[in-house]
Amino acid sequence: MLEKNNVYVRIYNADCEDNFNLIFRIEKETNNFEEYINRVNNLDDPVYNEVCGVIVNERPDVIGVSVSTSAYKSALNIARLSKKLNPNVKIVFGGIYPTVLPEEVLQTKLVDIVVRGEGEFTFLEVIKALEGGESIRGILGVPFIAEDGSIVHNPNRELIADLGTLPFPARHLVLDVKRVPHNPY
């Protein structure tokens, strides 16, 4: 949706076979959950070093992170590292976890904006507002932290009635796409 609307986009998937799936494989193969937790929490882990390298190379103004419940801790670590590399970068979380628990996510002070529910149109409006220096206050489906530190919950956006109006996924924008496992979902 962003590319279709002339927004420069790059997609990075840190969940490749040689990255986070390796962490899950360690837990499964060694039956050592503690080792798994140690790797997720180790900000010097090669996975996070690679993520930082991509951020340094791409120099994004906005980083959008799709966050499942199981990936919440690592997503926060990515936000933490991103802010360390560039304190002005805007971090936007979307996905099931931030949709269900937006206040918890925003209270970390690592995430600037949450996109609740279906993000195609919401995230586009967020990006356009940020590009234009405009407020996100009126964007449907967006909780955010106001200047006074309070959390504002904009009303929900209606579900997309006709999914056929959406463009196909822009897989050609994935950095190092050959490393990303192609699976049916």
Residue 184 pLDDT grade (very low, low, confident, very high; cuts 50, 70, 90) = very low
Q: What ranges do the domains of the chain cover? A: 3-175
Q: Give the pLDDT confidence score for residue 16 in this predicted structure.
A: 59
Angle (nearest 5°) at CA 59 between 72 and 138: 65
Q: How many residues does the chain have?
A: 185
Give tens-digit pLDDT for 92-110. Answer: 999 999 999 999 999 999 9
pLDDT higher than threshold 80 for residue 36: no
Give tens-digit pLDDT for 131-146. Answer: 999 999 999 999 999 9
Signed CA dihedral, 176, 179, 180, 183: sign only: positive
Give tens-digit pLDDT for 59-103. Answer: 999 999 999 888 899 899 999 999 999 999 999 999 999 999 999
pLDDT-above-70 percentage for the chain? 85
Residue 181 pLDDT grade (very low, low, confident, very high; cuts 50, 70, 90) = low
Please measure the distance between the N-terminal and C-terminal CA atoms of the chain and give it in whole angstroms. 19
Find how far residue 24's CA is from the centre of its chain: 20
Cβ atoms of residues 147 and 121 within 8 Å: no
Give tens-digit pLDDT for 145-177. Answer: 998 999 999 999 999 999 999 988 888 887 776
Q: What is the mean pLDDT of the chain?
A: 87
pLDDT higher than threshold 70 for residue 28: no
